[in-house]
Structure 1
Amino acid sequence: MLMTTPGKKAVLYRMVMKDHICPFGLKSLDLLKREGFAVEDHWLKTREETNRFQQAHGVDTTPQTFIDGRRIGGNDDLRRFFGRSVKDRAAASHAPVIAVFSMTALMSVAANWAVGSLDTLRTLEWFVAFSMCVLAILKLRDLESFSNMFLGYDLLARRWVRYAYLYPFGEALAGVLMVAGALAWLAAPVALLIGTAGAWSVFQAVYIEKRELKCACVGGDSNVPLGFISLTENLMMVAMAVWTVAKAILP
């Protein structure tokens, strides 16, 4: 239960309109309550009312918090006031890739559990295949944006631009077939092509040309830096392709 501390009061102005409730206003309200403040919560219910408030206080944004008559500012300013961290939205981060790989690892374990087995090898196979499928989904959310970022470093796409649009479909196809354990003759060459081309492109851009780029692996709107994790993702596809062929031809 959130408890207010006697004497700790704050005044909050935030947009609560018929067609828009400011998420940062809700976050500020929640933070103030968690810090033990009694909040005098003022709703700005129209754009006109919001504009008048901004002009009166010389601010460009809402929400705005006041404590002891002093204007603290917006949600980021309020977090800093309480000594909380503020995320740099422009900073590079591996968080999206870590989230994908963590979930696909859990999915592969869960899938094996569901079929009554915890076979380590099959878990690894499904981990790579599920990862390919999820990464393909993220790219296909905005194919145009993905292609723009991908063309910045992929060597094959630079030679044949249409490849930038086909890549996510190839990744999805190979991933689905590998989950199903079907059509190895199709899945393996596709994974081998995109994995090899991708690995060499990343190695060329990062380790030879020393370029600082964003990776399109989780879509064209990410801040994931191009580097070791991107290279590993492609090498995983290569390894999976080789293993798929080996399983198909070995007794």
Structure 2
Amino acid sequence: MSDSATKLGDETRGETLADYWPLISLIGGAALAAWAIADGFSSVDMRTFMHAYMGVFLLVFALLKIFNLSGFQDGFVMYDLLAKRVKAYGYAYPFIELALAIMYLNFIAPNFTYWATVVVFGFGAIGVVIALRQGLDINCPCMGSVLSVPLSTVTLTEDIGMLVMALILLFV
């Protein structure tokens, strides 16, 4: 575990907006791109916007992880329940996100895509909750090793946000 992966002893870490600026920028950029994509279909409705948003968001975050697969896997295995037991899952996860991104952007097998999102992000959220309860202080591998954002309730919110959006798309 490298110094860039853990930040033990920094008690102010994750307490300021600046700590989350890379994440906020990516979320905002994904929302703007989703709006532009949805608007390109002549009218922005919630379903089209959510598909575009989830597709762009997952694409960006998958690529951040793929830039340094082993760095991502090293952090991911510290809190993800499946990656702790099956090392290959840590390497496969960014490609699962990438596949989901393409499926959202192309409206491929929507019901399968929604259920897969619920399973992947629901399971991921459980691992984040356990890590947060244990007080694990690591850089969130959700942004790969490219950007430094602490694993926190923001990470949990991302997982739950993806899960909720998939459920909305599934049942509305």
TM-score normalised over the length of structure 2 = 0.82
Question: CA separation in 2, counterparts of 1:134 and 1:146?
Answer: 14
For residue 235 of structure 1, what is the aligned residue in structure 2?
Answer: 160
Within 5 Å, give how 1:165-204 maps onto structure 2.
Answer: 165-204=91-130
Question: CA separation in 2, counterparts of 1:237 and 1:165?
Answer: 21
For residue 10 of structure 1, what is the aligned residue in structure 2?
Answer: none
Partners of 1:139 and 1:216 within 8 A in 2: yes
Read off the aligned partner of 1:141 and give its amino acid letter: F
Partners of 2:47 and 2:169 within 8 A in 1: no
Within 5 Å, give how 1:6-85 maps onto structure 2.
Answer: none
> Residues 115-145 of structure 1, C-alpha deviation per residue, up to 9 Å, x if partnerless?
2112234223321221111101111111111
Paired residue for 2:143, among 201, 209, 218? 218
Deviation at 1:106, TM superposition (A): 0.3
State the identity as a percent: 27
Partners of 1:171 and 1:190 within 8 A in 2: no
Question: CA separation in 2, counterparts of 1:242 and 1:125?
Answer: 12
Structure of greater Rg? 1
Secondary structure of the residue aligned to 1:182 is coil
> Residues 55-109 of structure 1, C-alpha deviation per residue, up to 9 Å, x if partnerless?
xxxxxxxxxxxxxxxxxxxxxxxxxxxxxxxxxxxx7621221111111100011
Partners of 1:148 and 1:220 within 8 A in 2: no
> Residues 16-45 of structure 1, C-alpha deviation per residue, up to 9 Å, x if partnerless?
xxxxxxxxxxxxxxxxxxxxxxxxxxxxxx
Partners of 1:212 and 1:225 within 8 A in 2: yes
Paired residue for 1:107, among 15, 33, 51? 33
Give the total of aligned pairs: 156
Instruction: State the structure with bigger RCO (CA 8 A, min sep 6), 1 or 2.
Output: 2
Query: Which is helix-richer, 1 or 2?
Result: 2
Secondary structure of the residue aligned to 2:143 is coil
Partners of 1:146 and 1:221 within 8 A in 2: no
Secondary structure of the residue aligned to 1:213 is coil
Question: CA separation in 2, counterparts of 1:236 and 1:129?
Answer: 14
Deviation at 1:185, TM superposition (A): 4.4
Partners of 1:199 and 1:234 within 8 A in 2: yes
Query: Which is strand-richer, 1 or 2?
Result: 1
Within 5 Å, give how 1:78-93 maps onto structure 2.
Answer: 93=19
Read off the aligned partner of 2:154 and give its amino acid letter: I
Question: CA separation in 1, counterparts of 2:45 and 2:114?
Answer: 22
Question: CA separation in 1, counterparts of 2:103 and 2:51?
Answer: 12
Which runs of 5 or more structure 1 residues have no equivalent in the other structure? Answer: 1-90
For residue 21 of structure 2, what is the aligned residue in structure 1?
Answer: 95
Deviation at 1:175, TM superposition (A): 1.7
